Structure 1
Amino acid sequence: MSPEAPPDPLDFRPRVALASLSGEADADWARAGSEYAGAAFLGGIALDEPTREAARELVDRDRTEFLPADPVGFVDEQLAALADSPVQAGFNVRTTELEPLHEVGAVCRDRGAILEINAHCRQDEMCAAGAGEVLLRDADRLSELVAAAAETGATVSVKVRAEVPGVDLPAVARRIESAGGDAIHVDAMDSEPVVGDVAAAADLFVIANNEVRDERSVREYLEYGADAVSVGRPSDEPAVLDRVRDATEAWFAGEVEP
């Protein structure tokens, strides 16, 4: 008798994710939202010295950041704290170096978690370090990071944002797929149709984010072809999460006419 295949981390229900909030999205935060969401992306967390220095600079100007002495150990501890939770865990990470990405990828693999590379943060300090949004303009480097993460056997997502000047997001999606990525987490900003462009461009699991608050916003993203939606800043507001969960479940149950 062949061994049973491990569950697919992207096959979460309901198809609602909690999006990472730097310095706030920890295991307790994920557990609090597990009644409403099928997945939660913890973090973001800086893994290497350049991104950790950027995080320290962000803290100096009153932003919140996770800055544990051992970032990889912190990821492992936080994921372990969710081992008995129904929520599918993921961890959003920022790095310019491959070695810590290999280390945290192995942790995510062993914990059955999604490893999410941050190509989204637009803070000047993080971009100057070579992480976050700047990766969208350097497809070769982003592909290198995705390939390194995928080599570990972890399920790999990339968090991206729309409306970055000079960036063709569907082309970025194709590069992510070619490098071995599994999912793309799209902050649509004010360009919601880009979700449809990305979904058509690559065979990736698409999570749509930005102003997901109610049935109208959920339906818009799912009509564009998103496989799931995510909630950012209101992820600690039960009334919002309740509306989003109900709308998403109704859609996938076929109760809403496309």
Structure 2
Amino acid sequence: MTRDRLAFEPRVAAASLSGASDAAWAKAAIPHVGAAFLGGLAVDESTREAAREMVQTRDREEFLPADPFAFADQQLDMLADAPLVAGVNVRSSSLAPLERIAEICADRGAICEINAHCRQAEMCETGAGQALLSDPDRLAEQVEAAAQAGPNVSVKVRTEVDGLDLPAIARQVETAGADMIHVDAMDSEGVVAQIVAATDLFVIANNGVRDRETVREYLAYGADAVSVGRPSDRPAVLTRVREATEAWFEADETATGEATQ
């Protein structure tokens, strides 16, 4: 199954934080994580302009290199020998730049993660980020374009958009070629179980992952892994999450083995 093929160990990912999630950040999370998503990286002119506006008006950090493609290639090269699966979280309102980043990811054995998550108005006005959830056909088009370039494709989504049918969107992006879905569950953790039931996507659950209780809640809903966002630079948090995740899957393997005896 797809989710088995994509499993990483430990089943903890460091999640992208715009302007902070680079190769050095990912390396610092070793050995607590099995995957790290760099970014978010705006790759076409409209999303780059939105990122510039967000820096000016919201005092945000953003990656704004002169050449985002060279930047992605350089950052992934720095992780070539790192014992983790790398990914790049990408914001784009057009297909050609997304395809170019996807090719870089494919060449580096990295995951191309399409950002359908960023909720800042400046980014949504370009048609990228969370705006893609309101236009799942465009989201599926982005997934198909990225998948055709050859990498494993993830889609990062959020749950609190009014009227959103995330399981249906998950099925659509899976049909378009996605391998993973990275779910920011907010206060709708049960959506994770609905997506697990609806698809064969590898499901990474995110939001509030800090300790044993939060890890167990998401994994009990069927998530294949969890991710840590804001405290991803705090070793104490990462240690707790890794230990809880490893304990969960060790117990699950033990129970499965006993049931087959």
CA distance in 1 between partners of 2:224 and 2:45 (Å): 35
Partner of 2:85: 88
The amino acid of 2:49's aligned partner reads: E
Question: How well do the aligned residues superpose, as a CA RMSD in angstroms?
Answer: 1.4
Residue 192 (str. 1) matches residue 189 (str. 2): yes
Counterpart of 1:23 (choices 11, 19, 43) is 19
- Correspondences of 1:1-258 after superposition (within 5 Å): 10-61=6-57, 62-254=59-251
Q: CA separation in 2, counterparts of 1:200 and 1:173?
A: 11
Aligned residues, how many? 251
With the length of structure 2 as denominator, give the TM-score of the two structures.
0.94
Matches of 1:132 and 1:85, distance apart in 2: 29
Q: Which runs of 5+ in 1 are unaligned?
A: 1-7
Q: Which has the higher helix share?
A: 2
Q: Please state whether the residue corresponding to 1:24 is helix, strand or coil.
A: coil
For residue 254 of structure 1, give the secondary structure of its aligned residue in structure 2.
helix
Deviation at 1:163, TM superposition (A): 1.4
Shift of 1:202: 1.1
CA distance in 2: counterparts of 1:9 and 1:81, whole angstroms? 24
- Measured in 2, the distance between the counterparts of 1:29 and 1:67 equals 17
> Structure 1 residue 16: deviation in Å?
0.1
Q: Is the 8 A contact 1:109 1:152 kept in 2?
A: yes
1:9 deviates by 7.8
Whether contact under 8 Å (1:114, 1:154) holds in the other structure is yes
Contact 1:9 1:114 survives alignment (8 Å): no
- The amino acid across from 1:217 in the alignment is T
**Alignment deviations for residues 105-161 of structure 1 (CA, whole Å, 9 cap, x no partner):** 111011010000000000000001110001001011000000000001110000000
Report the Cα distance in structure 2 between the residues aligned to 1:104 and 1:31, rounded to whole angstroms: 21
- Aligned residues with identical type, % of pairs: 66
2:259: which partner in 1?
none
Please say if residues 15 and 37 of structure 1, whose CA atoms lie closer than 8 Å, have aligned partners that are also in contact: yes
Unaligned 5+ runs, structure 2: 257-261
Give the CA deviation at 1:10: 2.5
Which aligned segments of 4 or more residues in structure 1 are displaced greater than 2 angstroms? 8-11, 255-258
How many angstroms apart in 1 are the aligned matches of 2:163 and 2:138? 16
CA distance in 2, matches of 1:174, 1:184: 10
Question: In structure 2, what is the Cα distance between the partners aligned to 1:13 and 1:203?
Answer: 19
Distance 1:143 1:88 in 2: 24
